[in-house]
Amino acid sequence: MKIESIVENVTINIDGQDVEVPKGINIIEAVKMVGKGKEVPHYCYHPKLTIAGNCRMCMVEMGMPMRDRATGEAVLEEDGTQKIAWMPKPTIGCATNASPGMHILTGSEMVKESRNGVTEFLLINHPLDCPICDQAGECRLQEFSAEHGRGYSRFIEDKNVKPKRTRLGPNVTLDDERCILCSRCVRFSKEVADDDVLGFVDRGTYSTLTCFPGKELSHNYSLNTVDICPVGALTSTDFRFKMRVWFLKRTHSICTESSVGANTEIWSREGKIYRITPRRNDEVNDTWMTDTGRALYKEIESEDRLVHYTIEGVHKASGEAAVAAAELLKSGKIAMVGSAHSSVEEQFFYKAIAERSGAKVSLVSHNGDGDGLLQSEDRTPNLRGALVTGLISELPSENLEALARDINSGAVKTILAVNEDLTELGISKDVLAKAKVIYVGSHANRTSEVANIVLPSLMVFEKDGSFINQSFRIQRFKAAIPGPLGVQPDFTVLEKIAAALAEREGYSDDHRLSMGAHGSDN
């Protein structure tokens, strides 16, 4: 079946080159489609916000094919080509939409002069503090000033003095002197976060960004204003002055806060994470993420992190602990409490372990209130993964009271618990004491404290894998930093357990082959 495109394309001419672009797209986006790094510089325009048109940096020359007013006939040049009627003044690219035959010049003398003038005005009151500015290295004003500015200042008067280090909210600090009044943060708060909290007061060069009286920038998306601030005005209170961005390595990852699966970038250096920012994915999170999702990496250095494989409290090598776990799982009457925080790869092996040990699998739901944006009700990243891998076939329950009854009745003698504290889910410590417990998790809890075998696991920032989000979109994440010394990737340990279980007598050869029962491949 041929699917007709529902987007109508038009041909426009950009710097002498004919380009086919979707009708109605603005000139900034159209120029991006030319590729080759071609860009119309801009500050206030953002693809996911309404057009404000107030920075005037995206000036281009625009012309349309000339037609005779009386007859409507095309007016031709001497060489037979259609004559272009150029607008006498430059126009802003963000608010100019592509239409058939449109001609655009992005590098003419008039355009260069316009950008030069805009840049000079923006720099009049902008402090010359780039060496100590937190935005250095990712500052559009710095980049465009170098590219489009005149290189020296004609301004000999005193610069305006505005408030410095203003607390706008719990996560955002404002340096008003650096603000170029692009209004991206104002529009974001109003249009995306639905919390109209920011605005400008005073006039002209005294215009100042501030919160409305009695309000503060405290919604759970406040740090997106820092991301979209093109200069160093809005800074993350947590990240500011911690590290120069050019020292940081960027790794693609997925937010584990909820089933939305927002695409993220992990910024790290020498095994330490400094910040998490959103990564654009128009199918999932546009260019946004929650503030709470950005803070999840802090659990890495938590004091209750599990870093040793243990059997009955004694440190062991990972292989030894895996073999002991497999032996325990061979004893029968097994229950598994899986996790929707595990990756697809890990769930695949948990499924194999459950099949081979005859374990009944439970998952527990972790639900909260959704915010209608990027924090969904399901506060796990990979429930769909558990379904797709076949680990579960029904949705998780709210607690483990049924499992508690099975333990009490003797129907369950051994529990493999993944990331869950069973004592908070309806199984008291006394009941738990009646069963053998294998605990797999990244952090200690009351279940790991009483577990017979503990298998520490890596956090999402420390391993490769994939999650399946609320829309059944499978997305991969990569290790940004190494895990604790000696802790193996979870699927390596799980595969050893699954392989050891497959060796037991009576297990079908078909299953052994499909699940790699003949040992690990390294």
Partner 1 sequence: MTIDSVWERMVATIDQLGDSLRWRTLPEKGVALDATAFLDLGFVETKNLKYDPAAFKEAHAAPVEV
Tell me the closest approach of the beta carbon of residue 465 to partner 1, in angstroms: 7
Task: Pick one of 199, 370, 426, 484: the residue that binds partner 1 (CB under 8 A).
Answer: 370
Residues 248-287 contacting partner 1, CB under 8 A: 252, 259-261, 263, 281-286
d(CA 136, CA 127) in angstroms, rounded, equals 13
Among 302, 367, 428, 508, binds partner 1 (CB under 8 A): 367
Does 516 engage in binding with partner 1 (CB under 8 A)?
yes
Is 505 a binding residue for partner 1 by CB under 8 A? The answer is no
Q: How many residues bind partner 1 (CB under 8 A)?
A: 58
Among the residue ranges 126-134, 181-189, 441-449, 511-519, the one whose residues contact partner 1 (CB under 8 A): 511-519
* Amino acid at site 417: A
Q: Is 503 in the site for partner 1 (CB under 8 A)?
A: no
Cβ 417 to partner 1, closest distance in Å? 22
Residue reference for tokens 């930093």: 481
> What is the DSSP code string of 117-128?
HHHHHHHHSS-S
Residue 495 is a binding residue for partner 1 (CB under 8 A)? yes
Reported as type and span, the H/E element at residue 450 is helix 446-450
- Cβ-contact 44, 118 below 8 angstroms: no
Based on the shown chain and the rule CB under 8 A, indicate whether residue 514 belongs to the binding site for partner 1. yes
Smallest distance, partner 1 to C-beta of residue 498, A = 10
User: Is position 222 an interface residue for partner 1 (rule: CB under 8 A)?
Assistant: no
The residue length of the chain stands at 522
Cβ closest to partner 1, residue 284 vs residue 412:
284
Q: Does 520 participate in binding partner 1 (rule CB under 8 A)? A: yes
- Tell whether residue 289 is a contact of partner 1 (CB under 8 A): no
DSSP output for 35-51: -TT-----SS--TTS--
Checking 375-379 for CB contacts under 8 A at 24+ apart, the result is: 375/220, 375/257, 375/258, 375/260, 375/290, 375/292, 375/293, 376/258, 376/259, 376/260, 376/470, 377/258, 378/258, 378/259, 378/340, 378/470, 379/257, 379/258, 379/259
Indicate the residue among 264 and 414 with the shorter CB distance to partner 1. 264
Beta carbons within 10 angstroms of residue 416's beta carbon = 27
- Smallest distance from partner 1 to CB 388, Å: 5
Q: How far is the CB of 377 from partner 1 (least distance, A)?
A: 4
In the complex, the smallest distance separating the C-beta of residue 427 from partner 1, rounded to whole angstroms, is 23
Q: What gap in Å lies between CA 325 and CA 319, rounded to an integer?
A: 10
Q: Which is nearer to partner 1, 173 or 287 (CB)?
A: 287
d(CA 372, CA 139): 31
User: Whole-number minimum distance, CB 188 to partner 1, in Å?
Assistant: 13
Q: Which one of 98-106, 319-327, 390-398, 437-445 is the stretch in contact with partner 1 (CB under 8 A)?
A: 390-398
| Contact call for residues 330 and 357 (beta carbons, < 8 A) | yes
Show the binding pattern over residues 324-363: x = contacts partner 1 (CB under 8 A), - = does not. --------------------xx--xx--------------
Q: Which residue has the tokens 């355009």?
A: 111
Q: Report whether 389 contacts 347 (CB < 8 A).
A: yes
Smaller CB separation from partner 1, 115 or 279: 279
DSSP conformation letters of 364-412: B--B----SSS--SB--S-HHHHHHTTS-SSPPBS--HHHHHHHHHTS-
User: Which of 428/471 has CB closer to partner 1?
Assistant: 471
Binding mask 463-492 for partner 1 (x = CB under 8 A): -xxx-xxxxxxxxx------------x-xx
Local structure of residue 222 (DSSP, 8 states): T
- Count CB atoms within 10 A of the CB of residue 433: 10
Cβ closer to partner 1: 275 or 379? 379
Applying CB under 8 A, does 397 fall inside the site for partner 1? no
Residues that bind partner 1 (CB under 8 A): 1, 252, 259-261, 263, 281-286, 288, 344-345, 348-349, 365, 367, 370-378, 383-384, 387-390, 394-395, 464-466, 468-476, 489, 491-492, 495, 514-516, 520-522
